[in-house]
Amino acid sequence: MYENAAGIVSSSTQQWRGSSNAGQTDCPRFTERHDWAENWNDNNEAITTYSAASDNSWAQQTAPDGTIFKQFFATSGWQTGLPTLTEVWSANFKKKWTTVNWTQDDLNLSLAKSRKGRFAASSVS
């Protein structure tokens, strides 16, 4: 919150839920961010929403204008948690997507024994 002599001129608040039904049980996940500023956006809050799959396979941010930024993650093997695909949606049309491929020296290693994966290739459309 920012305030000057005339009063409050901007604020930002977050809402979150416990993650008991999500993949990470040790931290809350934000579900919304509310931004407001005097003389901006017709004095209405701009609300950004956040969501994620309970298996951590994807996470999504929806901007106040409805634009969706979605990221997909590997959920098995040594790649677990690494981003594999990103998408940008606007007006129900996929505007941009990027695929990412990862590699490591021994692709047969398990997650517990893996070496650090490294970027192998990407494709942007």
Return the pLDDT at 22.
Answer: 47
Backbone angles phi, psi at 53, to 5 degrees: -70, 145
Q: Which two tokens stand for residue 60?
A: 């999504």
pTM of the model: 0.75
Taking alpha carbons only, the member of 118, 122, 113, 86 closest to residue 102 is 118
Q: What is the dihedral of CA 97, 63, 23, 95, to 10 degrees?
A: -10
CA distance 63 to 74: 24
Single-letter amino acid code for the residue at 34: H
What size, in residues, is the chain?
125
* Whole-number pLDDT of residue 61: 96
Question: pLDDT tens per residue, the chain (125 residues)?
Answer: 556 656 667 778 887 765 444 455 566 678 899 998 888 888 899 999 999 998 889 999 999 999 999 999 999 887 888 899 999 999 999 999 999 998 887 777 766 566 667 778 888 88
pLDDT of the residue at 26:
63
Contact 29, 19 (CB under 8 A): yes
Please tell me the predicted confidence (pLDDT) of residue 20: 45
Q: What are the boundaries of each domain within the chain?
A: 1-52, 53-125
Burial level of 27, CB count in 10 A (0-12/13-18/19+)? exposed
